[in-house]
Amino acid sequence: MRRNPRSSAPAVYVTTRPTVPAGRVHGPLVVSMRAVPAALVDRAVEVTARYPTGHGAPVHVGDPAAIGISDLARPDFGPEPVVEEGDVPVFWACGVTPQLALPGCGAEYVFTHAAGHMVVLDHSVDAAAGAAPHG
């Protein structure tokens, strides 16, 4: 997967896809994008699908316009992506989604994460994927 050499963070976009409301909490799906060489897309999907409690499998592969992204060079958050000839845009659900949904719910206090630093409070990603936890 390609990344901008100036940042380890991916490009992040607000889509036109709504999330499924959970009571008062709702908002647009936010995705991170990594450009993946076409020959490696299936492998990227296979590997990331093993971690459904992390980002899991991509929510979309291919045409950004299909999820309401008009210009890959202009992310809503994060650095401009590096996309080379033969790359396919691959999009994963992003932890910024709740950060856009929570302000409208009226909660007095919430826990969330800082961009690029996921909060996991009760288990390890490896254990959730059925793998032996690391030390």
- Per-residue model confidence as pLDDT tens digits over 112-129: 776 666 666 666 666 656
Q: Give 10-residue mean pLDDT values along the chain (135 residues).
A: 67 95 92 95 95 88 97 93 94 88 84 69 63 51
> Which token pair is 113?
């994460």
Report the distance separating Cα 99 and Cα 102, nearest Å: 6
Nearest to 61 by CA among 90, 86, 39: 90
Provide the pLDDT for residue 106: 86
Provide the pLDDT for residue 7: 63
Tell me the C-alpha to C-alpha distance, in Å, between residue 26 and each of 23, 81, 88, 119, 126: 8, 27, 29, 20, 29
Global pTM reads 0.79
DSSP state of 46: H
Contact 16, 70 (CB under 8 A): no
